[in-house]
Amino acid sequence: MTGSLARAALAILAASSLSANAQSMPARAVPPWRIDPFPSTYRPLPRTDFLLVDATILDGAGRRIDHGELLVRDGKVVQVGPALAHPAGIWVIDARGRWVTPGIIDVHTHNGTYVVPLTDIDTESSDVSELNSPNVADTWIETAVNVQDTGFSRGLEGGVTTMQILPGSSPIFGGRSVVVHPIPATNIAAMKVPGAPQGFKMACGENPKSQDADAHDIHGPTSRQGEVTYIREAFMAAQEYRDAWNRYAQGKAATPPKRDLKTEALAGILAGDIHVNMHCYRSDDMATMLEVAHEFGFTIGSFHHAAEAYKIPAMLRGAGTCAAVWGDWWGFKMEALDGVRANAALLDRAGVCVSMHSDSAITGQRLNIEAAKVGGAARAIGIDVPPERMIRWVTSNSARILGLQNRIGTLAPGYDADLVIWSANPFSVYARADLVVIDGAVAYDRAKPPAHSSSDFELGRAGAPRP
Partner 1 sequence: MKSLMLGAATVFVLSAGHLSAAPIAITHAQAWTMTASDPVADATIVIDGGRIVSVSAAGAVPAGAQVIDAGGQPVTPGIIDSATQLGLIEVSSAAGTRDETSEAHGIGPGFDVSTGLNSNSVLVALARADGVTGAFSYPSKSDEAPFAGQAAFLKLRAEGGIVDHAGAAVVAIIGGNKWPKDAGSRAAQWQMLRRAFGKARDGHHGGDRGRGGVHGHGDDPAGPPPGSDDAVLDAVLEGHAPLALFVDRESDVREAIRFAHDFSAHVVIMGGAEAWRAADALAAAQIPVVLDPQANMPTSFDALGNRLDAAAILQRAGVVIAFGMAGGAIEESYNSGLDLREGAGIAVANGLPYVEALKAISTNGHRLWGGGAGTIAPGEAADLVLWDGDPLEASTNALAVMIDGRQVSTDNRQRALEERYLPLATPR
For residue 290, state whether it binds partner 1 (rule: CB under 8 A). no
Contact call for residue 333 and partner 1 (CB under 8 A): yes
Query: Per-residue string for binding with partner 1, 408-447, x by CB under 8 A?
Result: -------------------xxxxxx---------------
Residue type at 434 in one-letter notation: D
Determine, following the binding rule CB under 8 A, whether residue 116 of this chain makes contact with partner 1. yes
Pairing type for strands 99-102 and 50-58 reads: parallel
Q: Does 332 engage in binding with partner 1 (CB under 8 A)?
A: yes
Quote the CA–CA distance of 361 and 156 in Å, as a whole number: 11
What is the radius of gyration, based on Cα positions, of the chain?
A: 22
Least distance to partner 1 from the beta carbon of 272, Å?
A: 25
Q: Least distance in Å: CB of 373 to partner 1?
A: 5
- Report the distance separating Cα 256 and Cα 279, nearest Å: 33
Q: What are phi and psi of 199, to 5 degrees?
A: -105, 165
How many helices and strands in the chain, by DSSP H and E? 12, 17
Do 199 and 219 touch, CB atoms closer than 8 A?
no
> How many CB atoms neighbour CB 239 within 10 A?
16
- Pick the binder of partner 1 from 18, 350, 412, 442 (CB under 8 A): 350
Provide the minimum distance between the beta carbon of 438 and partner 1 in the complex, in angstroms, as a whole number.
Answer: 22
Contacts (CB under 8 A) with partner 1, residues 202-221: 206
Least distance to partner 1, CB of residue 369, Å: 5
Residue 328 binds to partner 1 (criterion: CB under 8 A): yes
346 binds partner 1 (CB under 8 A): yes
> Which of 9, 433 has the CB closer to partner 1?
433
Residue 146 has φ and ψ, to the nearest 5°, of -90, 110
> In the set 35, 218, 249, 369, which binds partner 1 (CB under 8 A)?
369
338 binds partner 1 (CB under 8 A): yes
The 3 state secondary structure assigned to 76-132 is EEEEEECCCCCCCCCEEEECCCCEEEECEEEEEECCCCCCCCCCHHHHHCCCCCCCC
The residue ranges that bind partner 1 (CB under 8 A) are 116-118, 150-151, 154, 206, 310-311, 313-314, 317, 327-334, 337-342, 346-347, 349-351, 360-363, 365-366, 369, 372-373, 375-377, 379-383, 427-432, 457-458, 461-463, 465-466
